[in-house]
Chains A and B, each alone.
Chain A
Amino acid sequence: MTKHEFEVAMTCEGCSGAVTRILNKVEGVKFEIDLPKKLVWIESDKDVNFLKETLEKCGKEVKYNGTK
């Protein structure tokens, strides 16, 4: 599986909680969230655009930083 790094404009635990619940609904992903750094790492074989659109559901801006 590929590990992708995304920057998500999270500002509080409400945001990181929302991202957690969104990603929990997606099958076949493992993820880690660093709220202070506003980073989300996702391990998945899914398409990057799909992952980005999934993250954008939380209503925050999302930037793809590449694979890690």
Chain B
Amino acid sequence: LCSVSLGVQGMTCGSCVQSIEQRIGSLPGVIHIKVSLEQKNATIIFDHSQQSPESLSDAIEDMGFESSLSE
């Protein structure tokens, strides 16, 4: 398992946080996701045979939020 922290821009409230946690959390290979509105990021634990930091970032972008791979 891998863990990654991605920057997420464009969230304004708890319901934004919830929709991202729900949708990304239900992707295959995603074990756990915690989104923070204050820190504008998402911490995701995933199975690296099914997801990658890039695929997860793309999935967040696909939902209409801006996502960046932070170091």
Contact = CB atoms under 8 A, between A and B. Distances in A.
Contacts of B22: 59
A51 interface: no
B19 interface: yes
A14 B63 contact: no
A21 interface: yes
Contacts, number: 46
Contact of B15 (A15, A17, A19, A57): A15
A46 interface: no
Nearest to A23: B64
Contacts of B16: 12, 14-15, 18
A58 B64 contact: yes
